Structure 1
Amino acid sequence: MSFISGTYQASHLQAVEYGPGSIRRLPQILAQLHVRRPFIITGTSIRTSTPIISDIIELLSLSDTVENTKQEIGVFGHIRQHAPIEDINAALVMFDRANADSLIVVGGGSPIDSAKLISVKSERVQFPPIIAIPTTLSVAETTSGIGYTSESGHKAKMTEPRAAPKYIIYDSELLKYTPKWLLLSTGMRAVDHAIETIYHKTVGELPFKPLALAAAGELFTCLPKLAANPDNTEYGQRAMNAVFMSLFPRERIDGPLGLSHSIGLAIGSSYTIPHGITSCITLPHTVRYKIKSDTYAEKQIKRLVPFLGLPSNSPAEAVADAISELIASLNLTATLSDYRAPREDARRIAIYALHNEADPELDAIIHLIELLY
């Protein structure tokens, strides 16, 4: 927990392309990776309701980088919310049939995590390289963690550093196709990443915490601007750059990122709550709980005060209030009751979040979860 000593271990990420129009550098990225048969993974809405995938196929077909014709470039466009394992297995079959050597994934956390698991599960190609092209602000592209929904309907997680994307393209021109509520709520997901990075006890100071502080401040600036004008590519790009800082690439992290994330995992797939909305439900109450129960967390949370534009003498509680106010200003206030989660599930959610029924914090976390209704 020292500010002045620690270790930073880099991830397998090789480069990030960012800026409006940066997707046009995709053929050069494929050349740098020495791959020629890419396979595209995305979700249904991007595949059927936007021109993004057809534009990518056209871009690749005009390049001599790939050996596929336009008709031969494989696409799986049916990844659903929370990455069901049956969707991932179906995509893996198509990836193998296409004799592909790499993955281009377009979308948010569910398609990106699906691509990572395909990279892990592929027996034909050992860890095919992934190029991630996010269209939300949820930040699955920087991590080696993989979240998906098992056959039983429960959220499952694993970590495999070799499956992390090799390249990321942050192109704010693509955000115009993202529904406003999804753009803003995934932005709150990134705020969640930043704040839980700041008070995580095993995340080193360098480079993560200064970057997370800056990311939180930038997102508090950009999200209201995007709420007023979602097509603003300047604020969209600033937000994309900030989310990269909110969960800066690392080899791995010890345990869950934080309590807000753990509760979010417990409620997301169980009650069909989108990832970003889980953060809107959990983060303000979790921050208040951490301030009261953990002196280290309180001290770290107070570091956010100047970055959020709060008076310098503000207590840590002002940060929790600012989070609630931001969520309300974005029209994203939500509760578990809105998603018909039974109140009697509070204990089950707490046990899932803590991974231990005997945890001494169990009663306190049950009370915390009851506040989410």
Structure 2
Amino acid sequence: MSTVDTTNYDSTDLNGFYSWTETLRGIQYGPGCLETALPKFLDLIGAKKALIVTGRSLYEKTDVVKQVEAVLMKRDAYGGVFFEIGQHSPIAGIRKAQKLFKEAGADVIVAVGGGSPIDASKAILYNLQKENGGPLLKQIAIPTTLSAAEYTAGAGFTNDEGHKIAVADPQLAPSAIILDAKLTLATPERLWLSTGMRAVDHAVENLYRPQVPPPLKHLGYAALADLFVNLPLSKANPEDVNVRQKLQIAAWMSLWPQRFEKYSAVGLSHSLGHKLGATYSIPHGITSCLTLAPVVALKAETASREDKEWLANALFYLRIPPSGSIDKDILILSDAIRNLVRNLGLASTLAEYKVPKEDLPLIAEKALGRADDPVHSKVVKLLESLY
């Protein structure tokens, strides 16, 4: 006689708030949807001339940007392309793109690529609004990675001193998003899979991030289930467009668009990634590969009962038998994340990126927001373990 495991920790956070972002007009998804989706969205938001914002590699080494250019030219809506957006969105590139946007007489940005061009485009539009007044102009995002920057209303970029800073406004969220998996085929494997781990990071940290309501946490569970299945499948068969499309949808579920009543802090893995990424030139996807599993393990020691319950229940969606102990279940989840990173060929160390050990206390302090945080010493030890 078979039995059904009834372990289900009783989360009790039944109070909260949810609102859809004001800006997003639509998400079109499906292999090959670019040609019909982009004209539709231009009409929907009333845009006449678009500047494409992207990175150099995508522009010079693939035909992805040329496909977008062709659609815009067919509509007589092409205002040029700026392809000097680097990793972590340096401010120098943002300034150049602002100048080109004005010279082209553009009224919309079409951001093509990963989180850097999408966040850079938000910063460009933010700065233009500060310069000129009036409403924020709009962005159409065409992501080719799984970093999910297109679903947020904030933008992170690197200032002249090499520090990651952010701007946020509900109107900065892209007005339209096009998820065309065919456009991701040219994305390098390491970038594709590591940004998939970034999506895993989003889904896991939303289980304990402040102000995330229960329905979105359950979407995070669904995202985790799909990411754990389809990331290895995509590594095994990179040309499978259907698997890639499923991963784009899973990344969407991992960071479902929402408006917060007030600023909602990111989780510790993201905060550490922000401090490590720009300063030491570590890609965001790789920072998630480094930090997420040990941060989850730390939560077994430091998290509230409520947050522990949400984390432990993730095992059900990953089809991993529970241990009967909430703290052990969180450690099992941490091991599952670590094994996924290893199986995807993404394991690395801080030593590989030449992060000085003497910097670790300051990195922990900046990630936590204060030097006297009760878990500061534990976070320093966590970072030491990444060598």
Q: Which TM-score applies when normalising by structure 2?
A: 0.92
Counterpart amino acid of residue 238 in structure 1: K
Q: Are positions 1:100 and 2:106 aligned together?
A: yes
Map 1:84-233 → 2, pairs under 5 A: 84-122=90-128, 123-124=131-132, 126-205=135-214, 207-233=215-241
Note if 1:22 corresponds to 2:33: yes
Asked if the contact 2:16–2:213 (Cα under 8 Å) also holds between the matched residues in 1, the reply is yes
**Which deviates the most, 9-18 or 238-247?**
9-18
1:328 has 2:338 as partner:
no
Q: How many residue pairs end up in the alignment? A: 366
The answer to whether the Cα contact below 8 Å between 2:13 and 2:306 also exists between their aligned partners in 1 is no
Amino acid at match of 2:382: L
- Displacement of 1:67 after TM fit? 4.7
Structure 1 equivalent of residue 244 of structure 2: 236
1:10 matched to 2:20? The reply is yes
**Equivalent position of 2:5 in the other structure:** none
Q: Deviations over 1:238-278 (max 9, x none)?
A: 00000001001012363432000000001001111001000
Contact 1:199 1:297 in 2 (8 A): yes
SS at match of 1:103: strand
Contact 1:138 1:276 in 2 (8 A): yes
CA distances 1:339-359 after superposition (whole Å, capped 9, x unpaired): 111111110100110111222
The answer to which of 155-164 and 117-126 deviates more is: 117-126
Q: CA RMSD in A?
A: 1.4
Identity over aligned residues, as a percent?
Answer: 39
Find the aligned partners of 1:76 and 1:238 in 2 and give their Cα distance: 30
Q: Work out the CA distance in 2 between the residues paired with 1:67 and 1:227.
A: 37
TM-score (normalizing by structure 1) = 0.95
Q: Partner of 1:340 in structure 2? A: 354
1:58 and 2:70 are equivalent in the alignment: yes
Range with greater deviation from structure 2 (20-29 or 313-322):
313-322
What amino acid is the match of 1:293?
Answer: T
Contact 1:119/1:126 (<8 A) preserved: no
Q: Of 307, 312, 316, which aligns to 1:297?
A: 307
Q: Cα offset for 1:3?
A: 4.2
SS at match of 1:177: coil
